[in-house]
Structure 1
Amino acid sequence: MKLENKVAVITGGAEGIGKATSLKYAKEGAKVVVADVNEELGQAVVSEIVEQGGQAVFTKVDVTVFEEVEGLVNFAVETYGTIDVMFNNAGIGITKPFLQHTPEDYHKVVNVNQHGVYYGMLAAGRKMKELGVKGVIINNASVFGFVGTLGITGYQAAKGAVVMLTKHGALELAPLGIRVVGVGPAAVNTKIVQGYRDAGLLDYMKQQQMTRELIEPEEIADVVAFLGTDEARVLNGSVVMADDGFSSFKSDVRP
């Protein structure tokens, strides 16, 4: 129960890494606000948490709209009295060769994956300052914010920005006792890798990781849970590479 009585807000909490993290935080004693655009799946996550004896509520949020993200943070405080952890996790992906990737594709991904993170940092940081909370803001970055890969133009741009937002936010908020840290997964077994499946690149992606397998969402959730604890105090302004070695080597495998 290392997160007992902490209040955690998790965007994109209805599926994938967000769902696994919501369940993990609740299991560790946190009160969880599950936020997502998918109300049906989000409510199902809350029901699962409650059935297991945890505490959680759902609220529908579009992270591309700052006012909605600000409302999410206010909702968390109105419901549970404070906010200790903000996990800016919501993300989407579009997989196309660069020359087929349209400006519309690019902006759709950047609006969620980059602007959504910035909005979450801003709203949570302001509220933590107002309440005097020495909280933690966790951003879902990616190994693809550091290294290039095929077919995910907007995703690469957005995740690179998230890496720098994490560094910058940590520096700005450190005087308030607020930590900002990122997690950097590689290929995780969620629907976001469907584009790789469709393009016949999934085996290629597996070969870029040391175990030659996809990472499971629960494995990332374990890392995010640790980052939210007091034991992770010295992790600040950095991205923890939960990437199964993707960034540590290059294989000779080609698609």
Structure 2
Amino acid sequence: MAGKLDGKVAIVTGGSSGIGRATAVTFAKEGAKVVIAARRTEEGEETVRLVKEAGSEALFIQTDVTNAAQIEALVKKTVEIYGRLDCAFNNAGFGKPIPLTERTEEDWDSEIDVNLKGVWLCLKYEIPAMLKTGGGAIVNMASMGGTVIAAPGLSAYSAAKGGVVGLTRSAALEYASQGIRINAVSPGLISTDILANFREEVLQEMTATIPLKRLGEAEEVAEAVVFLCSNAASYITGQNLVIDGGYTVQ
């Protein structure tokens, strides 16, 4: 049976673990060739192995999303090897809880650079590559924290993720008439390595507040990203899809 993305080429940033890795594998299962971009080489190569195991072609390119030259090289290499770029999941990001007044300028800059500037740089170089072959679809990683709700200690993360949604909407309007759709996803509490930092009782308390009474799985976010990149979402652009088990509608 044909996949939703047969013949397509996709880039996934932050593809060395968690939601990025799950999305890379899901892209592969739907027929796309996948280029994984991340800073950690060993973990990135493991994602390549999993993508190939899922039946598709893959390549790892070590990339710092805050570095314009590296993003430009990532897109250029993708097009050189696979001939085109059709889909992208701009997923790389992180958040570190620090009280606002104790946050240094370096702390602030590092989170804004990865979470917001990095998405802008990806768009800056992905869009021209997609225009050369008639268009494409891009999904940016936002978060329920900063786009729907907020959390104390995550001022830079919340500001950046809110910025991602604004950036997504503006970019979507700029390129809609040229065949490029740009959306965002805002996951809630997802069962990834990041949650390993929480004590079990804290996780249980958090889970109890979710209407679906469970954490989300990385694969569930991945399925949403693939949907937004597929023709099934051909009339959707400029949207922020919240994937949180109902948490933020309470």
TM-score over 0.5 for the alignment? yes
The structure-2 alpha-carbon separation of the partners of 1:133 and 1:192, relative to structure 1 and needing over 3 Å to count, comes to: farther
Does residue 154 of structure 1 match 2:156? yes
| Aligned residue number for residue 24 of structure 1 | 26
C-alpha distance in structure 1 between counterparts of 2:219 and 2:20, whole Å: 9
The structure-2 alpha-carbon separation of the partners of 1:80 and 1:217, relative to structure 1 and needing over 3 Å to count, comes to: same
Percent of paired sites with the same residue: 38
1:136 alignment partner AA = A
For the 8 Å contact 2:84–2:133, the answer to whether it is kept is no
C-alpha distance in structure 2 between counterparts of 1:208 and 1:160, whole Å: 23
How far off is 1:230 after superposition?
0.6
| Aligned residue number for residue 178 of structure 1 | 180
Per-residue deviation, residues 36-80 of structure 1 (Å, max 9, x unmatched): 101101111111222332211111000011111111111111111
The structure-2 alpha-carbon separation of the partners of 1:201 and 1:66, relative to structure 1 and needing over 3 Å to count, comes to: farther
Does residue 51 of structure 1 match 2:53? yes
| Aligned residue number for residue 237 of structure 1 | 238
Q: Matched residue pairs, number? A: 247
C-alpha distance in structure 2 between counterparts of 1:143 and 1:113, whole Å: 14
Per-residue deviation, residues 135-172 of structure 1 (Å, max 9, x unmatched): 01110111112211232111101100001001000000
The structure-2 alpha-carbon separation of the partners of 1:106 and 1:240, relative to structure 1 and needing over 3 Å to count, comes to: same
Does residue 39 of structure 1 match 2:28? no
Does residue 85 of structure 1 match 2:87? yes
SS of the aligned residue for 1:212 comes to coil
Alignment of 1:117-196 (within 5 A): 117-129=119-131, 131-144=132-145, 145-194=147-196
| Aligned residue number for residue 216 of structure 2 | 215
Alignment of 1:86-101 (within 5 A): 86-101=88-103
Aligned-pair Cα RMSD in Å: 1.7
| Aligned residue number for residue 68 of structure 1 | 70
Per-residue deviation, residues 71-124 of structure 1 (Å, max 9, x unmatched): 111111111100000110001110233333333222111111111111111111
The structure-2 alpha-carbon separation of the partners of 1:239 and 1:23, relative to structure 1 and needing over 3 Å to count, comes to: same
2:58 alignment partner AA = A
SS of the aligned residue for 2:161 comes to helix
SS of the aligned residue for 1:241 comes to strand
How far off is 1:133 after superposition?
2.5
C-alpha distance in structure 2 between counterparts of 1:149 and 1:202, whole Å: 16
How far off is 1:7 after superposition?
0.3
For the 8 Å contact 2:183–2:239, the answer to whether it is kept is yes
C-alpha distance in structure 2 between counterparts of 1:5 and 1:99, whole Å: 50
C-alpha distance in structure 1 between counterparts of 2:139 and 2:219, whole Å: 16
C-alpha distance in structure 2 between counterparts of 1:119 and 1:208, whole Å: 36
For the 8 Å contact 1:84–1:133, the answer to whether it is kept is no
SS of the aligned residue for 1:139 comes to strand
2:119 alignment partner AA = V
2:227 alignment partner AA = F
C-alpha distance in structure 2 between counterparts of 1:14 and 1:150, whole Å: 28
